[in-house]
Amino acid sequence: MASCLPDPPALLSIIGAHTEIAASGLDLAAACELVCRRARVLTGAEAAILRLHAPAVDAAAGFLAPGDVRSRVSVGVVDGRRAAGTLEAVAHWPGAFDATEYETLVLLAGVAGAELARARAFERGLQAAGTDPLTALPNRLSFEYRLRHEVDRAARYGRPLSLVIVAVDGLAETCERHGEHGGDDALLRVTHTLLSIRSSDEAFRIAAAEFAVLAPETDGEGVRTFGARLRERIRAQRSGVPVAVTIGSAQAGDAGDAGEADARALEAEARASLSSAARVPRIVAA
């Protein structure tokens, strides 16, 4: 029985797609375009189309109007064990594709699936690099990027922007008295309180005992309201380890024009206000 696998030159071309993608540093969309071009050539199709569901990526090589399609062969693209999309070849004449063309598409769909898995792994790595593992909040790295972006935006459009820094007081003493889990509990309670107040703001954990909140479209009065609500909710907590916080804030309009230097100035101003901020009394667990 004759083999349905592509001939050796075609197999080398399929294998070479992996090498070409890796050597060229292609992103997922460009890799999908390369797969489509290779599929069109190796199957003799008039057009090859690759569609991924998530992330949504459409790539094509060649063109054939839907009404002119007389032959079609389609295979699934798999990411791990999940269906991730389809790779399809079409032609305007009947009987254009046989089992060999089908197997060719299967192998090329494997190339696309491998690139999708690589892209997902890279995205997860970036997300992990920018996320605090305890609180799942964006970390210092993410904060610095977002701060520059929001300061630039506020200056460009003349919109208010406030930065709030929340310092958890006595975290080291809390850990000594209640253990590491006690310190984690205090940090998580502050995290949940921050997230419950204003969903439109961005909260970050920027140091072991510090959080930052970026509040677009918020002026000094809005920050004072935010601080009052934060104090009230922390004061109302009656379980867990004692928690005390100090709150400092600054407004972008007070720090100058846009730019990295002014993002740093805004943070420095918020930190300076910590020393004069009111301290929330410690709440002893009931």
Full-model pTM: 0.59
What does the block give as tokens for 134? 């305890």
Inter-residue contact 215 to 201 (CB < 8 Å) = yes
Instruction: Give the homologous superfamily in CATH for domain 140-274.
Output: Reverse transcriptase/Diguanylate cyclase domain (3.30.70.270)
Going from N- to C-terminal start, the domains of the chain cover 8-129, 140-274
Residue 13, pLDDT score: 94
* Residue 266: burial class (beta carbons within 10 Å; 0-12, 13-18, 19+): buried
The residues pairing with 248 across neighbouring beta strands, listed in sequence order, are 165
Q: What is the mean pLDDT of each run of 10 residues along the chain (286 residues)?
A: 78 92 88 96 96 91 93 93 93 95 96 91 80 92 91 89 93 90 92 85 93 93 90 80 89 61 87 66 39
Q: Tens of pLDDT along 138-161?
A: 999 999 989 999 999 888 888 999
Helices (H), 208-255: 220-236
The class that CATH gives domain 8-129 is: alpha beta
